[in-house]
Chains A and B, each alone.
Chain A
Amino acid sequence: MSVIREVLEELWSMFVGDRRLTLLVLLLVAVSAAVAAFLPKLHVAAAVLILVGAVAILADSVRLAARKARR
């Protein structure tokens, strides 16, 4: 049973290891989905929003982790 638990824990940490990053990604996808649904003519804007948002989330996550590592 401990093998199954370890596998499940590993899978969980693969995707939800960093709660802040996970929540920000879900928020980004929700906002982009709203843009794509309500402004279908501006669908490229939704695509660009996902890219810019993902890069911003990466920068935020790296900044926080770097600050923590320097302490």
Chain B
Amino acid sequence: MIAWATAAPAVGAAFVASTVEVVEAFTIVLAVATLRGWRPALSGAAAALGALALIVAALGPALNLVPLRALQIVIGVLLLLFGLGWLRKAVLRAAGLMALHDEDAIFEREKSRLGDEVRSARAADGIAALAAFKAVLLEGLEVVFIVLAVGAGHGLMIPASIGALAAFVAVMAAGLLIHKPLARVPENTLKFLVGIMLSAFGVFWTSEGLGAPWPGGDLALFGLAAAFALAALGLVALVRPRSEAAAA
């Protein structure tokens, strides 16, 4: 039985991070469906989910062959690279130095791009299905990495997978209900949180892998997340342009 304190960070991190990725994939699939109908959109998305299942089935068992500490170091370093990069963008967006992620704009851009690419009705469905396939495959690979990253280092694959699956169900349910891009999901706030969590997991796994575990075990994750949150908020205040800081 996995303790709640151990499983909660994995479930939470996988849920929030996967929500961001699923929202991005959903926007493209919806753009495809709006332009060419649900058939090419769903067939492209289903093909991508099949490809993802094959990748997981092929790579999953291979993870058991890697020694745990080596796995923790590799995943920890990858998480640090991914998490710090994500957190940097989130800080720059929060400080007003980088454009915010706008699902409505992405939706319109994808529709216009697809419209330009489509020359004949016959080719149109194929191009549309390919666009849905690419979007779901790319965002899905990120979800797979996130699940592996938060789950594989400590036997938490099931809680992490539950978090990702819950995100998929929640986004699909919301998306099918409102039938529009999920622009009201506070995606940039979620990305800020995800950057914090992934960076915290990165520090945690790297330390464990190097034989330098944190006092307090898994509970240290909360402290690490708090440290990154404070640092990131401090950086937002530091780099925010002065006129904006004065107005805020």
Assess whether A58 is in contact with B215, with CB atoms less than 8 Å apart: no
The total number of A-B Cβ pairs within 8 Å is 119
Query: Which of chain B's residues 203-227 have a Cβ closer than 8 Å to chain A?
Result: 203, 206-207, 210-215, 224, 227
Sort chain A's interface into a size bin.
35 or more
Query: Which of chain A's residues 1-46 have a Cβ closer than 8 Å to chain B?
Result: 3, 6-7, 10-11, 14-18, 21-22, 25-26, 29, 32-33, 35-37, 40, 43-46
The reply on B134 being an interface residue by CB < 8 A is yes
Assess whether B81 is in contact with A22, with CB atoms less than 8 Å apart: yes
Q: How many residues of B contact A (CB 8 A)?
A: 43
For A55, give its contact among B73, B81, B142, B231 (CB under 8 Å).
Answer: B231
Closest to B96 in A: A69
Q: Which 5 A-B pairs have the closest CB atoms?
A: A46-B212, A66-B239, A43-B212, A47-B207, A69-B97
Interface residues of B (CB under 8 A from A): 73, 76-78, 80-82, 84-85, 87-88, 91-92, 95, 97-98, 130, 133-134, 137-138, 141-142, 145, 199, 202-203, 206-207, 210-215, 224, 227-228, 231-232, 235, 239, 241
Interface residues of A (CB under 8 A from B): 3, 6-7, 10-11, 14-18, 21-22, 25-26, 29, 32-33, 35-37, 40, 43-47, 50-51, 54-55, 57-59, 61-63, 65-66, 69-70
